[in-house]
Structures are given as structure tokens and as C-alpha cells.
Structure 1
Amino acid sequence: MRITNRHLKKFAVVVTLVYGAEFGALYYVLQKEYTESGCKRRALQKLEACTAAVESLGGPPLKVYSLNLIDKYNRLHQDTAQVKIPVAGSKTNGYLYTSAVKDPYKNRWSLRHAVLKLKEGQVFTLLSPYPAAKAQSQAPEHVKGIDTGHW
């Protein structure tokens, strides 16, 4: 049986379409899992409770965009989560950096820290796991500034 270039091209197109559809479906499922996680919801509630941060963004209302699943900062495991949520208002945009742990008995997420960093460089600490007086001297690197991917 002889296989021509024409048949190989058709086969390559079909395989590309099938894998592209599978990748799209997987991306959608993962995006939905992140969106529905209690971690993201609690972080956004914390942001909305900080009027200074919301006003700096130019809200309400705030726009919350899909997570970049390729970004190395975003990690969602069974009992820990680290999420970088893109948010925007009418004035500016930024990222809400959060980390959380899940209580296996209550099946609920508890935020460990939440920090909003605006495009202009302004930073709002919405939740810090350390008291304010000790935060600068004893906090790990991800609390002192914005975590750049080291957890």
C-alpha cells in the first residue's frame, strides 16, 4: 500500500484538529476548576472589602479575568493553592496574589495571604499571615513583596 503526500497532509490536519480540540477542552476544564475554587472567591471577597484598593482600581464594579494557566505562579493542589488573579477597574489594572490552604475536614479554603499589586506599582496588603509590626522583619519573601514564583 502506497501512502501519498496528499494523504499524509490530510492525516496531519486531522491529528492537529483533534489534539487542538483536546487541549482546548482541558484548558476549559482547568480554568473552570480555578474559577470555582473557594480560594479565588475568598480572595475576591477580601479585595472587595478593601475600599482603598477598589477605589485605586477604579471600581466598583471590578472586572476579573481568566487565569493564565501557563503562569508558573498559579498552582492549585488538593490542599494548597497559589493564584495570581488579573483584576481591572475603570482607572487601572493589576494582579491579586493569593495563597490558601484547604481544611480537609471542613472542605473549606482559608486564605494565608492576599496582596494586590497595581500596574503603576502600588501595593495593597489585604491579608498578611504576620502581625504588622513583625511583617517587615520576619515575614518570608513572598509576604515582604510580591512572590515571583517561589512558594
Structure 2
Amino acid sequence: MRVPTIKLQQLTIFSTLLTGGGISTMYYLIQKKLSNSEYHKLALEKLEGCALAMDSLGAPPLKIHNIHLHDRDNRIDQRTAQVKIPLTGSRTGGYLYTSSIRDPDTNRWSVKTAVLRLKEGETINLMNPPSIAKEFTE
């Protein structure tokens, strides 16, 4: 029994669209889960709490981009999370490198390290940010 070529073409197109839609949905759901995670939110709170880092980026507005799932800097398991978050402000962009651990007793995440690396090469340690000297005139 011969199957017409047009039917095979239709089946191929349908399969391709179905597979592409499934992959896109899975990618979206993974990104949403990562951005809603406690370790992700805590890292962004550290960034937003550092006036020097926010000023260097030109934020607000601050745009947080999707995490590159294929990047080897991103490792997450039950007890630790190491994430590289791409972001941009109105002046420049960079990556927020974070490392978090989960307390087994309370099941809560805490940020162990948070470092902002700007595109220009500047590095700001958010756990121990440099103080901003302000000049006051009287």
C-alpha cells in the first residue's frame, strides 16, 4: 500500500510544529520556575540593595534576561544553586554570578556569594560592596 507524498509531507509538518511547540513550552516553564525560585529572588534583592551596582548598570530600569540553560556556570541541585543571571540597565549590562545554599533544617535558601560583572570588566562584590564616598558641602 502506497502512502501519497502529500500525506507524508503533512505528517512531517504536523510533527515538526508539535515538537517545536512542546520544546518552546518546556523552555518557558523552566525559565519561569527559575525566575520564581527563592535563590533567584534573593540574589536580585542583593543586587537591588547595592546602590553602586545599580548606579553602574544605570538602573532603574533593570531588565533581567532569561538564564542560558546550556551555560556551565549554572548548576542547581537540592542543596546548592549556582546561577549566572544576565541583566541590563540603561547604561550597560553584565552578569550576576550567585551561589546559594539551602539550610536542611529550615528548607530556606541563603545567598553565599553574589558578584556583578559588568561588560566593561568591572566587578562588584555584592556581599561586601565598596562604600560610596559622598561629599557634603556646608
Give the match for residue 31 of structure 1: 31
Percent identical residues: 47
* 2:31 is the alignment partner of 1:19: no
- Kept in 2: contact 1:34–1:76 (CA 8 A): no
SS in 2 for 1:127: coil
Structure 1 residue 22: Cα displacement: 1.0
TM-score of the superposition, structure 2-length normalised?
0.85
TM-score of the superposition, structure 1-length normalised?
0.78
Q: Following the alignment from structure 1 to structure 2, what is the Cα–Cα distance between the partners of residues 25 and 78?
A: 24
Query: Which whole-Å deviations, capped at 9, do the CAs of 1:5-41 have from their partners, x for residues lacking one?
Result: 2222111111111111111111111111100111111
Give the match for residue 10 of structure 1: 10
Structure 1 residue 85: Cα displacement: 0.8
Q: Following the alignment from structure 2 to structure 1, what is the Cα–Cα distance between the partners of residues 105 and 14?
A: 46
Q: Which runs of 5+ in 2 are unaligned?
A: 129-138
Q: Which runs of 5+ in 1 are unaligned?
A: 129-151
Structure 1 residue 96: Cα displacement: 0.2
- Kept in 2: contact 1:96–1:114 (CA 8 A): yes
Q: Which has the higher helix share?
A: 1
- Give the count of matched residue pairs: 128
Query: Which whole-Å deviations, capped at 9, do the CAs of 1:81-108 have from their partners, x for residues lacking one?
Result: 1111111111101000111111233221
| AA at the equivalent of 2:107 | N
| AA at the equivalent of 2:73 | Y
| AA at the equivalent of 1:110 | S
RMSD: 1.4
Give the match for residue 72 of structure 1: 72
Give the match for residue 51 of structure 1: 51
Query: Which whole-Å deviations, capped at 9, do the CAs of 1:46-72 have from their partners, x for residues lacking one?
Result: 111111111111123322122122222
Give the match for residue 133 of structure 2: none
Q: Which moved more, 1:52-61 or 1:91-100?
A: 52-61
Give the match for residue 107 of structure 2: 107
